[in-house]
Structure 1
């Protein structure tokens, strides 16, 4: 499919019709080549894929599915991962966000995945490509994971293309009785990780790197995952960063990411959540360092907003989060920009045949 500017109302069909009418002249070939590239000087820097988007909240009312899809269309996002939330607040809880209710259990559930799948079936999309993800797995109890996969396969055969976001260790959820996985649990992942490899399916794992008191406290857990399952497509949510880790030396963080990206070529960094921009990328003198990391490993990162579609949010919130999480794109070189912001890495992870446009020559 040829690239079409997000700043114009020209459709791909109109563009193709124009080429047919003009015929295969030298002029039309040149025009086609020019139209098929992305001009960073005039086009938006915001990502055209959202690889980390929660269509369901932890609790309370959700933004209607079609409305969320409308947010994507209005911002020029053409591909998105349909994440649920793999845990739910009790139905009698007045909360929509777990941080507002410490002590209230937020426990694993498959319900959001079922609701997302039903919505995808009911509201078929043509303008936006959606990839359903399984978010139910309880990584601390791996023996339960295959049963959930069989249930979703039976009810929605062939529809799920991703697994995650699943929690290895998420410190923010600890007050809500979240049970982190340990090294023995990770060893027990072998059956479902083998099934993911068979399906060539990526998995997005939330695994906090550490906290301000001990920045690398939990690093050994992700290293264990990568060491045991180097052939799985593993996506590390938020590059291991979180609100609990706001003061880590960026050089130390980049050094850890560099070491792991070099050693594990199937590792992909998830650049979602505005925490990355607000606490790291946006600091004076830091943005260029992270851009250099992505330029050095342009095939190992994908973008995302980490937007959670609770009804107290609106299009304005989504638009802002897309813009904030996309600011790092401006500092990337052309190859990293094409592969990350324009979606080539996301396409490759999913085996999508679509090809991101080349960057126009200056």
Structure 2
């Protein structure tokens, strides 16, 4: 047996060098990948780039997708969070993507390894997207390797003038979805499943997307859950996910945002149901915090978000743990050469 990886502890649990084997009995359960990290806030000042990278290193995160937030508040609004400013429009913008790309090009860190994402895509105005991608190619050739998080429907933004994209809009995504497909570039889509009054009100929008673009690498942010959908029957939700995973082989579930833990996984008997789903589909999910790097937050906030969103990892079998917590699914999705360590086996028995 390969030697177990040795790491030092940290408040959120430390990470591991991606080599040897990973001893789950001795090492932390926190994910070494953060595939859903907003390095820029909706408005106001961000945590400085170098400082945020320090948070990742300290917490044991070795790889992260560097999302901006494409839907930004006006620079003169004085707002840092859209929920505090109902009535203030939140509209797609290139502003955060340009800052992220500029920071990355000036100082690309080796640890953590970052993947820069384009978040400006306006799914309700798809005709604007190809020219935007061409501009990014011109200004930052080869830098952007991910798309999203972009909003198909996000009910929390309705008070800020956001409207759900339509089936007609989705049909018109074809030109830019071809670009992403040709580049093997994943796209993370926020598409609320529904709300407590109508749990599957918007399911048809994600289904339309998957049906029209089955060959794109589509990541469903938060598995479709949200604060507006706190009381859905987990069995019903899991049946929907099972059906979509079986029908669309390139669909990946995003496990980011503590809402999943707070509203679903932490309820009696529910964690094991979702863990069983992930064990049945161990290659089909990726982890993330959904941390938004506004400068009124600090390391302790990030560490807590990582710990809370990683709790599901404890319930996973070894194959799903390797795929999700140790990053194998993330590496595969990006076409990276990197491999996650295998989980150490005790002689004569598995985890």
Which category describes the TM-score, using the shorter chain as reference length? over 0.9
Partner of 1:127: 111
Instruction: Tell me the TM-score normalized by structure 2.
Output: 0.94
Q: 1:280 pairs with 264, 275, 280, which one?
A: 264
Matched, 1:140 2:118: no
Structure 2: state its 5+ residue gaps: 347-351
Tell me by how many angstroms 1:122 deviates.
1.5
For residues 236-275 of structure 1, give each alpha carbon's deviation from its aligned partner in whole angstroms, at most 9, with x where no partner exists: 0000000000000000000100110111110000000000
Partner of 1:114: 98
**Partners of 2:15 and 2:335 in 1: CA distance:** 27
Q: Aligned to 2:197, what secondary structure does the other structure show?
A: coil
Partner of 2:340: 356
Q: Aligned to 2:41, what secondary structure does the other structure show?
A: coil
Q: 1:322 pairs with 298, 302, 306, which one?
A: 306
Matched, 1:332 2:316: yes
How many residues matched? 340
Q: Which runs of structure 2 are paired with 1:218-297 in the superposition (5 Å)? A: 218-297=202-281
Q: Aligned to 2:57, what secondary structure does the other structure show?
A: helix
**Partners of 2:312 and 2:345 in 1: CA distance:** 21
Tell me by how many angstroms 1:345 deviates.
0.4
Instruction: Tell me the TM-score normalized by structure 1.
Output: 0.92
**Partners of 2:291 and 2:25 in 1: CA distance:** 28
Structure 1: state its 5+ residue gaps: 16-34
Q: Identify if the C-alpha distance between structure 1 residues 333 and 111 changes in structure 2 by more than 3 Å, giving closer, same or farther.
A: same
- Could you tell me whether the CA contact under 8 Å between 2:16 and 2:32 is conserved in 1? no
Decide which structure has the larger Cα Rg and report it: 1
Q: Aligned to 1:74, what secondary structure does the other structure show?
A: helix
Instruction: Give the structure with the higher percent helix.
Output: 1
Q: Aligned to 1:235, what secondary structure does the other structure show?
A: strand
Partner of 1:5: 6
Tell me by how many angstroms 1:93 deviates.
1.1
Q: Identify if the C-alpha distance between structure 1 residues 67 and 258 changes in structure 2 by more than 3 Å, giving closer, same or farther.
A: same
Q: Aligned to 1:307, what secondary structure does the other structure show?
A: coil
Q: Which runs of structure 2 are paired with 1:198-217 in the superposition (5 Å)? A: 198-217=182-201
- Could you tell me whether the CA contact under 8 Å between 2:29 and 2:313 is conserved in 1? yes
**Partners of 1:317 and 1:206 in 2: CA distance:** 23
Q: 1:303 pairs with 284, 287, 307, which one?
A: 287
- Could you tell me whether the CA contact under 8 Å between 1:167 and 1:206 is conserved in 2? yes
Partner of 2:44: 60
- Could you tell me whether the CA contact under 8 Å between 2:15 and 2:32 is conserved in 1? no
For residues 182-222 of structure 1, give each alpha carbon's deviation from its aligned partner in whole angstroms, at most 9, with x where no partner exists: 00000000001111110000000000000000000000000
**Partners of 1:57 and 1:178 in 2: CA distance:** 17
**Partners of 2:283 and 2:301 in 1: CA distance:** 29
Q: 1:149 pairs with 117, 133, 146, which one?
A: 133
For residues 118-156 of structure 1, give each alpha carbon's deviation from its aligned partner in whole angstroms, at most 9, with x where no partner exists: 000122211211000000000000000011101110000
Partner of 2:349: none
Q: Identify if the C-alpha distance between structure 1 residues 11 and 138 changes in structure 2 by more than 3 Å, giving closer, same or farther.
A: closer
Tell me by how many angstroms 1:92 deviates.
1.1
Partner of 2:152: 168
**Partners of 1:88 and 1:158 in 2: CA distance:** 24
